[in-house]
Amino acid sequence: MSVVLEAFNAPTAIRVAARTLGWPFAWLGKKGDPNLPPLLRALSAMGPAYVKFGQILSTRPDVVGEDLSRQLKVLQDRMPPFPRSVAVESIERELEIKVDDVFSEFSEPVAAASIAQVHRARLATTGQEVAVKVLRPDVEAEFRRDFDAFYLAAWMIETLSPSSRRLHPRDVIKHFEGSVRGELDLRLESASAAEFHASTADDEGFIVPEMHWALSSRRVMTLDWAEGISANDLDKLDEAGIDRKIVGERLLARFLEHALRDGFFHADMHQGNIKIAANGDIIALDFGIMGRLDDYTRRVYAEIIFGFIKKDYRRVAEVHFEAGYVPADRDIDEFASALRVVGEPIFGMSAGDISIGRVLTYLFEVTERFGMETRMELIHLQRTMVVVEGVSRSIYPSINMWDVARPVVEQYLRDSIGPRALLKDLADTVRVLSRFGPRLPQIAENALAAQALNASEEPRRAPTKPMLWFLSGATIAIGFIWVFDLL
């Protein structure tokens, strides 16, 4: 823990408190792998949820430093594996097959992470190469233990620091837990992989391996083998003659397209989940954590990004107020000025010249000052945006996220706010209203019965008919809508 606090330049008092409070309990913990550096040994011994945290930090050398980032990359896909025999036993139990009958080849682990490990295999029937992912033994129990500790820590933070409650620490942990639980059921990951494969099928330079449903279950997942160079191995990328500028910009652009265009994106895109094919195509792996955004949130997010790109901080502020991200009683002009201080230093600079850590620190101060609360629907997006930008700049250090984002966001806004988008919104509204058609007779009968009951209870009051007029008008309107929808 002291290594992490030093990396973040934490105040001396906090470092001393962490050492003092942690020392009496040190003997209770696991020692970890003595061959690993101190921080990696600590995180791997503490549990898989802490390893996930380390994976996120590994993508941010600008925050934790180059040396620590390089160490943490080990957590992405080079964790200690469990024996091949245990994996074979799990596969045979889950799929009710014999591994030797189904696979003509089945390798030792080729990659191991906090939750599962991967084996390279060949189908006996077709000779096709596949990747077989198998969950670690007892990983579910380990995650339950880790999250119990997280909830306790979140409760202590909320209790001891009332100002932190606007960030909803326990809700954030609950959101994170829900995401991770999806990784612990490979059937859900298989479904996400299949959906992501379909939604990105036409994306140039982006590949999602195809699923093999017959060889997948709750603890086992099988998909096409994808040959490529790890996004971590920059030397091999250079040796293969791959243009890292194109790869870095493509990775960031594709992520924004998936988030804005589809509202469905890969939410765990660290280097361990990315390979680069010989032709420069990006191969996405590991679909346990995926993000979703509804239409309205996507438009809000796009307008915020576009406002920053155009340096229209007033519009960015208005969007925050319109979406309810900032309390209505705050001053919009002051908020716009605060956003200008965040955005202006970024323009005209390469990512290598920008301290994202300082930008995020100031942005956090702005959110605290204006009482912005954590938005659960944006957690995946915000976290993944930071990770993807970190991975992109690790591949091509001079990348500028605003230059890459601009054409993607402009295209989305043209499609989602222009005349075509208006017609689409009207058509969607028509479809929703048309569903009320079959229910109108029952609604009318209920209204008549209610009116008759009121008339019998208050005989002197003349019966009113606005509800009947509304139902009659609605019936006619929905009739027209239904015909229009068919056309």
The pair of three-digit structure tokens given for residue 188, joined into one six-digit string = 């859900």
Question: At CB < 8 A and 24+ separation, what contacts does 203-210 make?
Answer: 203/254, 203/257, 205/250, 205/254, 205/280, 205/281, 205/282, 206/250, 206/254, 206/281, 206/282, 206/284, 207/277, 207/281, 207/282, 207/283, 207/284, 208/283, 208/284, 208/287, 209/131, 209/283, 209/285
Q: Is 449 helix (H, G, I), strand (E, B) or coil?
A: helix
Q: In angstroms, rounded to a whole number, what is the distance separating the alpha carbons of residues 62 and 378? A: 23
Q: How many CB atoms lie within 10 A of CB 39?
A: 20
Choose among 11, 75, 13: nearest CA to 49: 75
| Contact between residue 134 and residue 103 where contact means Cβ atoms under 8 Å apart | no
Going by C-beta distance under 8 Å and a sequence separation of 6 or more, which residues neighbour residue 184?
115, 135, 139, 140, 143
DSSP state string for 329-362: TS-HHHHHHHHHHHHGGGTT--GGG--HHHHHHH
3-state secondary structure of 121: strand
Identify the active-site residue in 203, 268, 281, 286: 268
Distance CA 139, CA 108 (A): 20
78 Cβ partners below 8 Å, 6+ apart?
111, 112
Establish whether 171 is a catalytic residue.
Answer: no
Rounded-to-integer distance, Cα 332 and Cα 320, Å: 9
Q: Using CA atoms, how far apart are residues 312 and 255, in angstroms rounded to an integer?
A: 24
* Nearest C-alpha neighbor of 358 from the set 3, 6, 4, 8: 8
Catalytic positions are: 268
